[in-house]
Amino acid sequence: MKQRLQVAVAIIFNAEQQVLIARRHAHQHQGDRWEFPGGKREANETRFQALQREIEEEVGLLVHQAEPMMQIVHDYAELEVELDVWIVSEFSGEAIGKEGQALEWCALADLDNKEFPAANIEIIERLTSLYAI
């Protein structure tokens, strides 16, 4: 049976209405592609706790408030991912790639110019319809 990962995903906007994206390391699954920051949920965490921990560990931001946006299950050949996507409405700190990854604040209209994992395409489509770019 294929492994299923539960992943908390953050959609974080800055004051200019740009969204934070991170580039996956080359050696990772879906390497060198852009993604929305987040990571695996631990067994003892709520979905929101996983979001808070992962965003602090990965990009150094403290998430104070977030609302669930959508959930996506995507089946890759080697594993299945369950993305728990949140819109972060309140955060503090300065975004830095704490794991050595490149970060970029990207306009929604420019997301189509970036290469994302297939599981993220539905997120981008939802964002562009919600925020009508």
Binding residues for 8-oxo-dGTP: 24, 29, 35-38, 120
Cα–Cα distance for residue pair 32/91, rounded to 1 Å: 27
CB 22 within 8 A of CB 101: yes
Do strands 34-35 and 18-23 pair parallel, antiparallel, or not at all (unpaired)?
Answer: antiparallel
Q: Tell me the binding residues for Mg(2+).
A: 38, 58
Closest CA to 78 of 128, 119, 18: 119
Q: Tell me the binding residues.
A: 24, 29, 35-38, 58, 120
Cα–Cα distance for residue pair 15/100, rounded to 1 Å: 24
C-alpha 32 chain-centroid distance: 15
